[in-house]
Amino acid sequence: MLIKPKVILVCMFEPEKGPAGEFGLFRDREKMQPLEMSGLDGVWATPDKEMLGVLAGVGTANTAISITSLGLNPAFDLSHTFWLVAGIAGGNPNRCSLGSPVWADWCVDADLAFEIDSREIPDDWSTGILPLGAKEPFGTSSMPMELFGHPYQMFQLFPALWQRAYSLCTEIELVDSPALAELRRGYEEIPGASVPPVLRSGATLSGARFWHGPRHNAWAERWVQHWTGGCGDFFTSAMEDTGTLHALARLGEMERVDPRRSLILRTVSNFTMPADGSDVVASLTGDSHGGEFPAHAIALENSYRAASVVYKNIIANTGAWEALL
């Protein structure tokens, strides 16, 4: 008998030892168990199998392969399944604060690009990262859109779905901590960063490089604006989501899934640049604030609180969600 889950929860990592990863709270609180099937790895299920959990791996390539493999597995009928990505992310301090859950409206790829070393760029260039086929930063590409991945450079999440998810989360209680409050003191001049965790919506930037610093942050803001035609604002930086959405798009062409049924929740575990005057290297490595991900535990808890409200609602009211499509 085919397994027909109503929701698939996509997380990227869960260490066997040490601090918890993105999946642990969901696995434990929803009493998920691994699905023991030949050729299937990293897939878990609730007792009633209405929800699956997938550990898709870190990086766009890993997630794309994992999602494609699952989508092609003949044991599943995923044609009416909703997909919910729930992971931690770097947060743009101009837009959001540590521990804040952010529902994505756009997802933009950060890797498909021309690049010149920053020490060798012309004096009047703000960055050495250019759109493929462009002759200057944020310039128009001379390459046809069907070449070099351009059709998958950006994705717009289905508006009615992420707006519904956002609205369901407006009343949830988000956790904070004295440690985060102390970290916020360094960002008092940046309004977006100096508040306790708060629900947000905005664009997520997806790339395999873990970048950091004010110059890269300024690039990310313009890069998202460039590829969304000015419709998206950069809120979070993660490493997988264009891979996931690309896989779902291809599976959709094969009528294995409905890619419109996709949601991305990213919760801020760290900032994408340091506070003014702070050392970029120390901020990247965590030496200036006790770890690379200073809001790691808070982000995981708030991720569970926001995501669980939504997937429980999808399972209980599937017809209402399908009516949004």
Contacts of 272 (CB under 8 A, 6+ apart): 90, 91, 92, 93, 211, 212, 213, 216, 217, 220, 237
Q: Is 81 left (phi over 0), alpha (psi -120 to 50) or beta?
A: beta
Residue among 215, 266, 263, 265 at smallest CA distance from 237: 266
Look at residue 276 and tell me whether its pLDDT is greater than 90.
Answer: no
Residue among 284, 321, 295 at smallest CA distance from 102: 295
pLDDT band at 184 (very low <50, low <70, confident <90, very high): confident
Encode 65-89: b = buried (16+ Cβ within 10 Å), e = exposed.
ebbbbbbeeeebebeebbbbbbbbb
For residue 292, what pLDDT is reported? 65
Alpha-carbon distance of 112 to 155, in angstroms, equals: 14
pLDDT one-digit tens code per residue, 44-82: 999 999 999 999 999 999 999 999 999 999 999 999 999
Alpha-carbon distance of 122 to 45, in angstroms, equals: 53
Kindly report the average pLDDT of the chain as a whole number: 93
pTM of the model: 0.95
Look at residue 149 and tell me whether its pLDDT is greater than 60.
Answer: no
Return the minimum-mean-pLDDT range out of 13-22, 48-57, 66-75, 107-116: 13-22
Q: How far is CA 128 from CA 17, 115, 119, 215, 278, in A?
A: 39, 5, 9, 11, 23
pLDDT one-digit tens code per residue, 266-275: 999 999 998 8
With a pLDDT cut of 90, the percent of the chain lying above it is 80
Domains of the chain listed by start with CATH number: 7-112+151-204+234-322 (3.40.50.1580)
For residue 133, what pLDDT is reported? 87
Look at residue 290 and tell me whether its pLDDT is greater than 60.
Answer: no
Q: Encoding tokens for residue 298? A: 């808070």
Eight-class DSSP state of 76: B
For residue 148, what pLDDT is reported? 64
pLDDT band at 288 (very low <50, low <70, confident <90, very high): low
Eight-class DSSP state of 150: G
Residue among 63, 72, 50, 38 at smallest CA distance from 4: 50
